[in-house]
Structure formats: structure tokens, C-alpha cells
């Protein structure tokens, strides 16, 4: 896939989702499930919700969710996903370019699962702003790609930061956070055409002190 990194992010993601099927896996991200399943429920903010499987899973666990994406098409798929599972009244979907605005509020969970983009995206700045929106005792859960499976868009020579490098790239005050995990996790994954392969997820899980 030939991607112009200077492309307007909204146009880029709209085109991706317009070409995509509204169908979803129906499963949450493995890391979200692993780290959120035993936490007390509250108000969650999802950054880059895509077609909404994570927001729906959180709502079904009892969370109230604010789910954000830049793509109105993705948000339309996500709303329909929530309606199919009867949790539309537990989720507020909001369109934001996160580099420009975030929803208001204080959250018990902020989740960013693969909030990554091949076009211009000031990801660390967005994550730093979101960190300030987490209540005491709340969880900040960030997962990013730590490997390049055969179906990846990432260039072949992509160098993936270690979990510690990914954490260091955020300007967090370490005295305000308890580290739950700063680690790589390996799992089997399925690509968009059904390809199977092992992938590494780079995970930062921090609890606000
Ligand atoms: C790689 S996808 C991950 C989607 C979903 N979290 C998942 O794990 O399947 C990245 C998501 O971030 C969204 N996104 C990219 N740039 C954004 C921005 N500037 N503001 C808000 N959302 C953005 C995209 O529309 C897309 O849904």
C-alpha cells in the first residue's frame, strides 16, 4: 500500500473505512480484555475506537464509555455495533481529530489500542493530554504494534521502540503513576484477509496515584 504521509488524516481514515466492511470481529483487543476485565467499572475514554468492538465490550462489562474517532464512517459502524449489542445508551460516540480536541471529563480508564497512523499524527502529544484526564486510581492503557506481521502497512525497515522507550517518549511525571506493565506481549493474530501470524503488542499500563 502506497501511502502519502502528508495526506490529510481525516481524508485518509475516511477512505480506509469507506472501503472497509462494517463487519467487526466482535472481540475486544486482547490487551484491553487482559488489563480491564478485573477492574472496577466506571467511566472509560477510548481514543481511536474504529468500529467499536472495544467500546462495546467495555459497555457490556458495565462501563460507561466515551468513544472517539476521527472518521465519521468508523463512528457510524461503531454506533451500529453498539445497537446490535443493545449498549448504545452506555456509549457516547464523538468525532474528534485528537490532535485538535479531546472530549471533556475525568476518566477511570483511558484506552488507546493501536492509536497509530501512517499519516501525520502527533501521537505522544495526544497521549500526554489524555494522561491529565485520568482520575486517581484510574488506568492508562496504551498498546502499540511491536512487530510487523505480513499484512502490516509499516515499511519493512520499521524499528519498533522497546516498551521502556515507548514510555520514555511520553512526558509523564513518573511520581504520579504506578507501573502495572511496561512490556511486550506475543499473541497469534489474524490479518484482514484471514492470514495468521504471531504479533507483538507493546503495552504501557499505568495506574494514576
Ligand atoms: C490502527 S486504527 C485502530 C482502531 C482500533 N482501536 C483497533 O484497535 O482496531 C487507528 C484508529 O485511530 C483513528 N485515528 C487516527 N488518527 C486520529 C486522530 N487524529 N484523531 C482521532 N482518531 C484518529 C483512526 O480513524 C482509526 O480508527
pLDDT of residue 2: 78
Task: Note whether residue 176 is domain-resident.
Answer: yes
Task: Note whether residue 18 is domain-resident.
Answer: no
Q: How many domains are there within the chain?
A: 1
Average pLDDT, the chain: 96
pLDDT of residue 31: 98
Q: Calculate mean pLDDT across residues 104-111.
A: 98
pLDDT cut 90: percent of the chain above it: 92
Task: Note whether residue 13 is domain-resident.
Answer: no
Ligand 1 centre distance from Cα of residue 53 (Å):
13
pLDDT of residue 56: 98
| Ligand 1 and 130: CB distance under 6 A | no
- pLDDT at position 3 over 90: no
Ligand 1 centre distance from Cα of residue 113 (Å):
8
Side-chain half-sphere of 201: how many Cα atoms within 13 Å?
21
pTM for this entry: 0.97
Task: Note whether residue 182 is domain-resident.
Answer: yes
Nearest to 31 by CA among 67, 57, 2: 57
Task: Note whether residue 1 is domain-resident.
Answer: no
Q: Calculate mean pLDDT across residues 38-61.
A: 98
Q: Which domain holds residue 47?
A: 27-208
pLDDT of residue 167: 98
Which CATH number do you get for residue 138? 3.40.50.150
Residue of 13, 21, 93, 192 to mutate, ligand 1, most atoms within 8 A of C-beta: 13
| Ligand 1 and 77: CB distance under 6 A | no
pLDDT of residue 108: 98
pLDDT of residue 101: 98
| Ligand 1 and 119: CB distance under 6 A | no
Measured from the CA of 112, which atom of ligand 1 is nearest? 6
| Ligand 1 and 98: CB distance under 6 A | yes
Ligand 1 centre distance from Cα of residue 181 (Å):
23
pLDDT of residue 192: 83
Q: Calculate mean pLDDT across residues 91-99.
A: 98
pLDDT of residue 193: 86
Q: Calculate mean pLDDT across residues 38-66.
A: 98
| Ligand 1 and 53: CB distance under 6 A | no
| Ligand 1 and 64: CB distance under 6 A | no
Q: Calculate mean pLDDT across residues 122-150.
A: 97
pLDDT of residue 11: 97
Q: Calculate mean pLDDT across residues 29-56.
A: 98
Q: Which helix (H) or strand (E) holds 49?
A: none
Task: Note whether residue 19 is domain-resident.
Answer: no
Question: What residue's CA is closest to ligand 1, atom 24?
Answer: 48
- pLDDT at position 1 over 80: no
Question: What residue's CA is closest to ligand 1, atom 27?
Answer: 50
Task: Note whether residue 109 is domain-resident.
Answer: yes
Judge contact between 103 and 46, C-beta under 8 A.
no
Question: What residue's CA is closest to ligand 1, atom 3?
Answer: 114
Distances (CA, A) of 67 to 35, 133, 159, 204: 18, 14, 30, 20
Task: Note whether residue 148 is domain-resident.
Answer: yes
Amino acid at each position: 500500500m502506497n501511502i502519502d504521509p502528508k495526506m490529510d488524516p481525516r481524508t485518509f481514515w475516511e477512505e480506509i473505512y469507506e472501503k472497509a466492511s462494517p463487519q467487526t470481529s466482535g472481540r475486544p483487543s486482547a490487551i484491553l480484555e487482559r488489563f480491564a476485565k478485573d477492574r472496577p467499572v466506571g467511566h472509560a475514554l477510548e481514543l481511536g475506537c474504529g468500529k467499536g468492538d472495544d467500546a462495546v465490550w467495555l459497555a457490556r462489562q458495565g462501563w460507561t464509555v466515551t468513544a472517539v474517532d476521527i472518521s465519521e464512517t468508523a463512528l457510524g459502524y461503531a454506533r451500529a455495533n453498539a445497537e446490535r449489542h443493545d449498549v448504545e445508551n452506555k456509549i457516547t460516540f464523538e468525532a474528534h481529530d485528537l490532535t485538535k480536541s479531546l472530549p471533556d471529563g475525568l476518566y477511570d480508564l483511558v484506552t488507546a489500542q493501536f492509536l497509530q497512523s501512517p499519516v501525520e499524527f502527533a501521537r505522544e502529544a495526544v497521549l500526554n493530554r489524555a494522561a491529565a484526564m485520568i482520575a486517581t486510581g484510574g488506568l492508562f492503557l496504551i498498546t502499540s504494534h511491536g512487530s510487523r506481521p505480513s499484512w502490516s502497512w509499516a515499511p519493512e525497515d520499521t524499528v519498533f521502540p522497546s516498551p521502556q522507550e515507548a514510555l520514555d517518549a511520553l512526558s509523564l511525571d513518573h511520581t504520579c503513576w504506578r507501573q502495572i506493565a511496561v512490556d511486550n506481549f506475543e499473541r497469534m493474530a489474524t490479518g484482514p484477509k484471514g492470514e495468521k501470524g504471531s504479533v507483538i503488542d507493546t503495552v504501557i499500563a499505568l495506574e494514576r496515584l
